[in-house]
């Protein structure tokens, strides 16, 4: 692992996984871990069957169902015939190709990006891919993790490698200490607001600085998860003692001598002093208020004490057209205070904010209060194990007493492939990652927020500054 | 995968920034286990009204553009999810090339796996091609991959860059997996090495 030139964390992981350099300069990169879900894998397995190919490394592959599964009573069959067929196909493919699979009745089932870390399948320094853009989540462990398309899923299944061009390095340094009520979600929304939704295109982002180091593993996962919303396929945070403590004794984490050797290797996974970054962005978290989105792109952010932009505030014709389209879709005029925006629905969950710490933060706000009469609020734990943990802590009782619905794990209303979705025109405070047109349901209106902000909005019936909630 | 050599066809203008993969193919179409048949869902939420009828204002519903094979769009086309259903839907509709100033990484990559050519051009060239595309059925463009150029209806030529390996694979319709499997001995040797160095993997 030693060469003369100072290297970034990304450079180091990259160098340790190059199998071959192709004549055009792209690399054949070895993939250590491959996560599979039901939506982006059926056509890949079909491709293997047609070509008579096997899965090259079944032990490095883990399948879980998440996008389609209903979050209501799991003892009933899936009603939607297409969803049901897709779920059944994953079970068949996993069995036929010898891949470990967590079905919807398994307590380990959940959103693929919550399951990987929880099982210790996600490890520092590993290359991790999945047919899902939020694979960037796993970068919180110092893994090089990114989403791939289905053709690439098939390529990884068949060869355990991927053809890759090396990305550029971007450092996002988040300085200062977060204020009370301000979270990892607010940090990442602020970063995307700053760099724009294409700002990270072509880069791997390394997050560093005091505010990042202070985050829990859950918070770091939230930040890395939304790297793709800033255009970067992968986000990375150097592993440290918190990372190792999180992984220790996880079912698939190394044990005994292998654990000691792994810690030794993982401890070297940090950028060298003087390593070159192609771009550096700094953000001061010390003065950051809670952040929410107002429009239809994750870059459309406003602080809770700010104002929704007006069309006139656009600097170019293209910007004014973009703002006008987003305001129209969102049913806003421009110039509103976020605290004056009324909501109809609340969604707490997803690979961005469906972990135990997220549910604790939301429950802390909800405890002893009642969801506003006109609001329907859902809490969807990220996995069966998160659900068990939350129930052991009594969080489910707090939510239910406050009028939230307590559901079974899955992707749910983050992308509304299952029955959880917005009706046309409904406005949602959502802890998920995308506020695209139609994302949570046809003509649905999504505002991205942290779990605490979502819970506070559920109680008030409109957005509130969570720092004012007592 | 079909080869991509020279394409002559109508180009549809989509002057929208950040066209995301949820716009290209919404989630209700992702429940298929096939690669084909997704064309009907392409741009569904802009293309159809709430009652399921066609929205006559949407470009691909206008007579001149119903058989468009090229899309011209603003910055950051294909941002969002990794769903390969997006290029599959474009292809199934008949779109073989997309012209923009920039593309999201995963979508860009997915295009090449499906015989679709994403073309990056400068802001000035995009404005010119968008203008050409707005001229309806008279807006036939020719894309010549070997020559790396787009020829507009007035004979104007826009040159573009493309990675040589990707160009080669598109011109020949080559499948990556077959090429990689030739390197099986190298992959095996790498696996033996990491079994020693990183046995926990």
Show the tokens assigned to A316: 């170019």
A89 closest CB neighbour out of B22, B33, B110? B33
**Phi and psi torsions of B150, nearest 5°:** -110, 125
Q: Are A116 and A94 in contact (CB under 8 A)?
A: no
The DSSP output letter for A234 is E
pLDDT tens digits along B10-51: 999 999 999 999 999 999 999 999 999 999 999 999 999 989
Q: Are A126 and A132 in contact (CB under 8 A)?
A: no
Residue A33: which H helix or E strand, with range? strand A33-36
- Residues of chain B contacting residue A149, judged by C-beta atoms under 8 Å apart: 82-84, 87, 106, 109-110, 113
- Does B3 contact chain A (CB < 8 Å)? no
Strands B149-151, A127-130: pairing kind: unpaired
- Residues of chain B contacting residue A258, judged by C-beta atoms under 8 Å apart: 199-200
A265 closest CB neighbour out of B165, B180, B198? B198
> CB A289: neighbour CB atoms within 10 A?
18
Residue A371, classed as helix, strand or coil, is coil
Residue A241 pLDDT more than 80?
Answer: yes
Q: List A residues 309-328 in contact with B (Cβ-Cβ < 8 A).
A: 318, 321-322, 325
- Does B195 contact chain A (CB < 8 Å)? no
Q: Where are the beta strands (DSSP E) in B21-84?
A: 70-73
- B103 lies in some domain: yes
Sorting pLDDT into bands at 50, 70 and 90, what band is A25?
Answer: confident
- A309 lies in some domain: yes
B80 contacts A436? CB cut-off 8 A: yes
- Does B198 contact chain A (CB < 8 Å)? yes
Nearest C-alpha of chain B: how many angstroms from A331?
17
**Phi and psi torsions of A110, nearest 5°:** 170, -170
Residue B8: which H helix or E strand, with range? strand B6-14
How many domains does the structure of chain A reveal? 2
Helix segments in A196-299, DSSP class H: 210-213, 217-225, 241-247, 256-266
Residue A362 pLDDT more than 70?
Answer: yes
How many domains does the structure of chain B reveal? 1
| Residue written as token pair 């996600």 | A122
Show the tokens assigned to A161: 């490698």
- Reported as half-sphere exposure (CB side, CA atoms, 13 A), residue A201 has a value of 20
DSSP string, B132-195: HHTTGGG-EEEEETTTTEEE-TTS-EEE----HHHHHHHHHT--HHHHHHTTHHHHHHHHHHHH
Give the CA distances from residue B122 to residues A25, A173, B101, B160, in Å, rounded to whole numbers and listed in that order.
Answer: 25, 31, 6, 9
Residue A456: which H helix or E strand, with range? helix A451-460
CB proximity list for A455: less than 8 A, separation 6 or greater: A346, A348, A361, A362, A363, A365, A366
A297 contacts B18? CB cut-off 8 A: yes
- Does A424 contact chain B (CB < 8 Å)? yes
Answer with the one of A141, A166, A191 that is the final residue of a domain: A166
- A76 lies in some domain: yes
Residue A197: which H helix or E strand, with range? none
Q: Are A351 and A111 in contact (CB under 8 A)?
A: yes
- Does A21 contact chain B (CB < 8 Å)? no
Nearest chain B residue to A24, by CA: B165
Residue A1 pLDDT more than 80?
Answer: no
pLDDT tens digits along A248-275: 999 999 999 999 999 999 999 999 999 9
Nearest C-alpha of chain B: how many angstroms from A373?
28
To the nearest 10°, report the CA torsion of A80, A86, A91, A93.
160
CA atoms of A236 and A141, how far apart (whole Å): 7
pLDDT tens digits along B98-113: 999 999 999 999 999 9
A28 contacts B110? CB cut-off 8 A: no
Poorest-confidence range of A112-126, A142-156, A408-422?
A408-422
Task: Look at phi and psi of residue A452 and say left if phi exceeds 0, alpha if psi is from -120 to 50, else beta.
Answer: alpha
Sorting pLDDT into bands at 50, 70 and 90, what band is A371?
Answer: very high
Residue A383, classed as helix, strand or coil, is strand
Angle between helices B164-172 and B105-112 (to 10 degrees): 40
Q: Are A132 and A150 in contact (CB under 8 A)?
A: no
> pLDDT value at position A4?
82
- Most A-contacting residue of B73, B82, B115, B124 (CB-CB within 10 A), to test interface: B82
Sorting pLDDT into bands at 50, 70 and 90, what band is B137?
Answer: confident
> pLDDT value at position A412?
95
- Most A-contacting residue of B43, B85, B180 (CB-CB within 10 A), to test interface: B180
Answer with the one of A166, A200, A222 that is the final residue of a domain: A166
- Does A32 contact chain B (CB < 8 Å)? yes
Sorting pLDDT into bands at 50, 70 and 90, what band is A136?
Answer: very high
Find the mean pLDDT for residues A310-324: 95
Question: Domain with B73 in it: what CATH number?
Answer: 3.20.19.10
Domain hosting residue A161, numbered range? 9-166
Question: Domain with A103 in it: what CATH number?
Answer: 3.30.499.10
CB proximity list for A374: less than 8 A, separation 6 or greater: A342, A344, A461
Q: Are A201 and A146 in contact (CB under 8 A)?
A: no
- B201 lies in some domain: no
3-state helix, strand, coil split of chain B in percent (to 5) is 40, 20, 40
> pLDDT value at position B139?
75
Handedness of CA A429, A430, A431, A437 (dihedral sign): negative
CA atoms of A142 and A123, how far apart (whole Å): 8
Residue B1 pLDDT more than 90?
Answer: no
CA atoms of B77 and B18, how far apart (whole Å): 5
- B28 lies in some domain: yes
- A450 lies in some domain: yes
- B195 lies in some domain: no
B22 closest CB neighbour out of A28, A86, A436? A436
Poorest-confidence range of A20-24, A115-119, A448-452, B16-20?
A20-24
pLDDT tens digits along B156-179: 999 999 999 899 999 999 888 988
**Together in a domain, A157 and A297:** no
Tell me chain B's radius of gyration from C-alpha atoms: 19
> pLDDT value at position A22?
86
- A239 lies in some domain: no
Residue A156, classed as helix, strand or coil, is helix
**Cα A407 from chain centroid?**
19
- Does A26 contact chain B (CB < 8 Å)? yes
The DSSP output letter for A77 is P
Q: Are A383 and A118 in contact (CB under 8 A)?
A: yes
> CB A424: neighbour CB atoms within 10 A?
11
Find the mean pLDDT for residues A281-307: 97
CA atoms of A56 and A116, how far apart (whole Å): 20
CA atoms of A45 and A31, how far apart (whole Å): 18
Nearest chain B residue to A87, by CA: B31
Smallest Cα–Cα separation from A346: which of A409, A386, A402?
A402
Q: List B residues 53-82 in contact with A (Cβ-Cβ < 8 A).
A: 74-76, 79-82
Residue A2 pLDDT more than 60?
Answer: no
Strands A301-303, A291-293: pairing kind: antiparallel
> pLDDT value at position A3?
56
Residue A77, class by beta-carbon neighbours within 10 Å (0-12 exposed, 13-18 middle, 19+ buried)? Answer: exposed
B176 closest CB neighbour out of A46, A155, A201? A155
> pLDDT value at position A198?
96
**Phi and psi torsions of B86, nearest 5°:** -65, -55
- B25 lies in some domain: yes
Show the tokens assigned to B57: 């204002």
Domain hosting residue B153, numbered range? 6-174
pLDDT tens digits along B44-59: 999 999 899 999 999 9
Show the tokens assigned to A73: 């009573």
Show the tokens assigned to A178: 């977060």
Give the CA distances from residue B17 to residues A146, A276, B32, B47, B200, in Å, rounded to whole numbers and listed in that order.
Answer: 24, 32, 28, 17, 45
Residue A332 pLDDT more than 80?
Answer: yes
B165 contacts A22? CB cut-off 8 A: yes
> CB A400: neighbour CB atoms within 10 A?
13
Answer with the one of A133, A166, A199 that is the final residue of a domain: A166
CB proximity list for B59: less than 8 A, separation 6 or greater: B12, B13, B14, B65, B68
């Amino acid at each position: 692992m030693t060469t003369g030139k100072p290297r970034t964390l990304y450079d180091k992981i990259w160098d340790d996984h190059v199998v071959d350099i192709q004549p055009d300069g792209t690399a054949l990169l070895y993939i250590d871990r491959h996560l599979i879900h039901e939506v982006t894998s059926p056509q890949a397995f079909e491709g293997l069957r047609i070509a008579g190919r096997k899965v090259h490394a079944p032990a490095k592959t883990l399948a879980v169902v998440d996008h389609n599964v209903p979050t209501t009573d799991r003892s009933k069959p899936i009603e939607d015939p297409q969803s049901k067929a897709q779920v059944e196909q994953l079970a068949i493919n996993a069995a036929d190709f010898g891949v470990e699979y967590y079905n919807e009745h398994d307590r380990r089932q959940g959103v693929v990006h919550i399951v990987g870390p929880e099982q210790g399948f996600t490890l520092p320094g590993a290359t991790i891919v999945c047919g899902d853009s939020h694979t960037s989540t796993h970068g919180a462990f110092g893994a090089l993790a990114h989403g791939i398309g289905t053709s690439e899923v098939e390529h990884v299944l068949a060869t355990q490698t991927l053809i890759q061009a090396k990305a550029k390095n971007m450092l996002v340094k988040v300085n200062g200490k977060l204020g009370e009520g301000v979270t990892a979600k607010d940090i990442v929304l602020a970063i995307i607001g700053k760099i724009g939704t294409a700002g990270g295109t072509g880069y791997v982002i390394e997050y560093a600085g005091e505010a990042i180091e202070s985050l829990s593993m859950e918070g770091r996962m939230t930040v890395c998860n939304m790297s793709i919303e800033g255009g970067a396929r992968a986000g990375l945070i150097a592993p440290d003692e918190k990372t190792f403590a999180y992984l220790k004794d996880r079912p698939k984490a190394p044990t005994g001598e292998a654990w000691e050797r792994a810690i030794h290797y993982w401890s070297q996974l940090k950028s060298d002093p003087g390593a070159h970054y192609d771009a550096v962005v700094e953000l001061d978290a010390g003065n950051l208020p809670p952040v929410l989105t107002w429009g239809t792109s994750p870059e459309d952010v406003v602080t809770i004490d700010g104002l929704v932009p007006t069309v006139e505030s656009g600097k170019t014709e293209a910007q004014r057209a973009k703002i006008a389209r987003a305001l129209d879709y969102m049913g806003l005029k421009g110039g509103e205070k976020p605290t004056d925006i009324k909501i109809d629905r609340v969604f707490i969950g997803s690979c961005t904010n469906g972990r135990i710490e997220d549910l604790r933060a939301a429950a802390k706000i909800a405890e002893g209060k009642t969801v506003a009469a006109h609001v329907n609020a859902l809490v969807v734990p990220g996995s069966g194990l998160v659900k068990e943990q939350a129930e052991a802590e009594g969080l489910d009782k707090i939510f239910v007493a406050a009028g939230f619905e307590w559901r079974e794990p899955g992707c749910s209303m983050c992308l509304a492939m299952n029955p959880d979705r917005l009706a046309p025109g409904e406005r949602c405070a959502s802890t998920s990652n995308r506020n695209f047109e139609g994302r949570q349901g046809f003509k649905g209106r999504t505002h991205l927020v942290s779990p605490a902000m979502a819970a506070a909005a559920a109680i008030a019936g409109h957005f509130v500054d969570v720092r004012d909630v007592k | 995968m079909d080869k991509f050599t020279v394409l002559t066809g109508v180009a549809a203008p989509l002057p929208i920034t950040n066209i995301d993969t949820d716009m290209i193919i919404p989630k209700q179409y992702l429940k298929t286990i096939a690669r084909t048949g997704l064309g009907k869902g392409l741009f569904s939420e802009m293309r159809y009204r709430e009652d399921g009828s066609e929205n006559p204002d949407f470009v691909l519903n206008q007579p001149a553009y119903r058989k468009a094979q090229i899309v011209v769009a603003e910055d950051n086309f294909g941002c969002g999810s990794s769903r390969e259903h997006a290029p599959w839907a474009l292809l199934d509709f008949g779109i073989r090339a997309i012209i923009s100033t920039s593309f999201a990484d995963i979508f860009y990559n997915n295009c090449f796996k499906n015989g679709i050519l994403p073309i990056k051009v400068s802001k000035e060239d995009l404005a010119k091609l968008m203008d050409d595309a707005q001229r309806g059925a008279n807006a036939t463009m020719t894309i010549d991959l070997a020559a790396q150029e787009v020829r507009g209806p007035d004979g104007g030529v826009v040159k573009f860059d493309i990675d040589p390996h990707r160009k080669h694979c598109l011109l020949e319709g080559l499948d990556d997996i077959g090429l990689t499997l030739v390197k099986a001995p190298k992959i095996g040797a790498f696996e033996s090495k990491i079994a020693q160095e990183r046995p926990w993997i």
